[in-house]
A and B are shown apart, each in its own frame.
Chain A
């Protein structure tokens, strides 16, 4: 009866930004990114990729509530970098990793005669 629509889980409501950025008020080079309509799929790969960055002092994400369809990614970096730079680089690196994965998978498929 009053159940929320199922699409609310993955459709960003109008007038809401997919990613919003909020600088920490007390710590320099620390910030929180609120990502709407995302979950552990994105949160965890981003966090692990950020951990590979030497300039990142802290990276974590949380899903504040199972019925609030957003995640909060918190990043603290050294003065050599900035949360925004680290965030962008993590996404770029993951993107390139997936490109590589796609090519590697297609190459494997091409190696199998009789298929494709």
Chain B
């Protein structure tokens, strides 16, 4: 029954990798796959975020729901999220307890007792699970001075308190996906572009004077072309800076040099840029996206009873058609 396979074998090349940033090339597949990966990274890779807040004392200037919302938006380290359960289908608890499979509890206690304004930040959140903590954005290179309390050292500000004000609360973080609420999205930005293929018609280009060449190069809003100082030839310095704006093509036409440049988008090559919120590493985000997409595909397989039901109907159908 199984005949030929129409499977593709895409190629990947990583260009640049940091914890929260990844740039890679994806080749020999089509835009539907690239876009599915992008969509999954943004909206379907799970993370952990604060979802339920019980406020004990709040005499700050912000109201309770305002603070609850701000807490929800704090990215939490979510390496555990792929292995966790959604609280809605957790059998071990009622969904809002301190269940180790589906939730993590946080506590926050802060009171200002001086005349100095107190910043309550994500560092004041105490987690019940050492693997799930607010993301630390501080740059290790700034951390030389332990008494240096610059902006990068202090985490994400939740609220500021003046003398006498107090904030005390309990929060429960749960696993979720960006489709439910954007606070669960592990992606800051995920983009992909087609790789451009730029061909300069050298013969036609040589008919241009140096001034004309320079003014043509200037017509591109991004720095794609430049002039070689020695040979005075136009060279492509950065094809990926091209934004498919067609300005250089219009300029060539305006100069009466149609066909001076040929720019094509390679329809099976993509350049991805992935920026993570810090909840998971950018490289892990891509791997998780592949895994989630696989799970989604598995879920849309036809169930056996559907196939059986059709087999019966199929015979009947042959009779009906007068077979």
Q: How far is the CB of A108 from chain B (nearest CB, A)?
A: 5
Instruction: Tell me if A52 is interfacial: C-beta within 8 Å of chain B.
Output: yes
Count CB-based A-B contacts (< 8 Å).
132
Do residues A10 and B294 form an inter-chain contact, with CB atoms below 8 A? no
Which of the segments B113-121, B232-240, B248-256, B298-306 contacts the partner chain? B298-306
Task: Determine the distance from Cα of A66 to Cα of B286 in the docked complex, in whole angstroms.
Answer: 27
A13-34 near B? 1/0 per residue, CB < 8 Å? 0000111110100001000010
A34-52 near B? 1/0 per residue, CB < 8 Å? 0100101110111111001
Chief secondary structure at chain A's binding surface: helix
Q: Per a CB cutoff under 8 Å, which of A40, A41, A94 touches B44? A: A41
Instruction: Tell me if B181 is interfacial: C-beta within 8 Å of chain A.
Output: yes
Q: Given A38-B296, A96-B7, A109-B283, 12 other A-B contacts at CB below 8 A?
A: A6-B181, A17-B303, A18-B299, A21-B302, A21-B309, A41-B293, A42-B36, A49-B6, A87-B302, A89-B2, A104-B10, A104-B12
Task: Determine the distance from Cα of A93 to Cα of B39 in the docked complex, in whole angstroms.
Answer: 20
**Interface size bracket, A side:** 35 or more
Question: Which residues of the partner chain B approach A19 to less than 8 Å between Cβ atoms?
Answer: 300-303, 306
Q: Which residue of chain A has the shortest Cβ distance to B10 in the bound complex?
A: A101
Do residues A94 and B297 form an inter-chain contact, with CB atoms below 8 A? yes
Question: Which residues of the partner chain A approach B181 to less than 8 Å between Cβ atoms?
Answer: 6
Q: What 7 pairs across the A-B complex have the smallest Cβ distances? A: A48-B32, A52-B6, A93-B7, A44-B32, A104-B12, A41-B39, A45-B32
Q: How far is the CB of B140 from chain A (nearest CB, A)?
A: 15
Do residues B300 and A95 form an inter-chain contact, with CB atoms below 8 A? no
18 A-B residue pairs with Cβ-Cβ distance under 8 Å, sorted by A, are A10-B179, A19-B301, A38-B296, A41-B36, A41-B296, A48-B33, A53-B6, A84-B302, A89-B2, A89-B3, A91-B301, A93-B6, A93-B8, A97-B8, A97-B9, A100-B9, A101-B12, A104-B12
